[in-house]
Amino acid sequence: MKAWRDWLLPMDHGTVGRARSAVPLRHDRPDPDDIAKIDGFYTKAGFEPWFRVPDDPSWQAVHQALDDRGFLRSKPTHVMTAPLAGLLSVPAVASCDLSAEPDEDWMATYVGPGFDAEDGAHRARLMTRAKGCLYASVRMVGETQAVGMASLSEGWLGIHGMRTVPKARGRGLASGILRAMALKALERRMHKAFLQVEASNQGAIALYTRFGFRPAWTYAYWR
């Protein structure tokens, strides 16, 4: 991981876009001349260049610079935020356990049937590298059926890795995870939460909207 000017330049050979795409550290001064330089950094290091930039009209010159170099826009993604009080407003239908480490059942659920095992393994590797996180599990009928991860830092609860096994979807298990995470964050005097969700995932967006999440900004990947 390196920084250059107003950009963070993560370089990872895995499948996770956020771990391998250049991302601006601020949104108020886009510079299209940065694109060629960053493209060169990644290429010289042996990485396919990816960018993750705001999907906003003020970044049109950067979008054009990317387009001119043959990059294609994909996967628009919302960064959504909410006050923690909203995460407590919807009753949870299942209890949730929080642990400082992911156990075997957590990992097996995360990469299990219904999910891309290779992509899940890369995502799990990145999540478990983070420090001070909590791993959420909802167990029903003796098996783990929903999981997630919470980061707790800088006054924010970050919600990551939310997955429910296909046979248990639609039962509100994610509500239990969100509520448990919010309660733990409130214990630590935090008051706001964020998450990231692809704009095409309307089911997840509907769930998060019920908990008070609203889009703060949207980015897209350029490859």
CA distance 91 to 178: 10
- 87 in Cβ contact with 212 (< 8 Å): yes
Report yes or no on whether pTM surpasses 0.85: yes
CATH fold of the domain at 81-216: Aminopeptidase (3.40.630)
Can you give the pLDDT of all 223 residues of the chain as single tens digits? 789 999 999 998 888 888 899 999 999 989 999 999 999 999 999 999 999 999 999 999 999 999 999 999 999 999 999 999 888 887 777 889 999 999 999 988 888 877 777 877 778 787 877 888 999 999 988 899 999 999 999 999 999 999 999 999 888 899 899 999 999 999 999 999 999 999 999 988 998 998 999 999 999 999 9
In the chain, at which residue ranges do the beta strands (DSSP E only) sit? 2-4, 7-9, 23-24, 51-54, 73-83, 97-99, 134-140, 143-153, 156-164, 192-198, 214-222
Q: Quick one: pLDDT at residue 6?
A: 94
Q: Measuring CA to CA, which residue among 178, 216, 215 is closest to residue 85?
A: 178
- Give which of 185, 179, 221, 183 is closest to 200, Cα–Cα: 221
Residue 122's pLDDT is: 78
Q: What is the reported pLDDT for 223? A: 96
Give the number of other Cβ atoms within 10 Å of residue 116's Cβ.
11
- Domain ranges within the chain, ordered by starting residue: 2-71, 81-216
Q: Convert 166-191 to b/e letters by CB count within 10 Å (16 or more is b).
A: eebeebbbbbbbbbbbbebbeeeebe
pLDDT value of position 10: 95
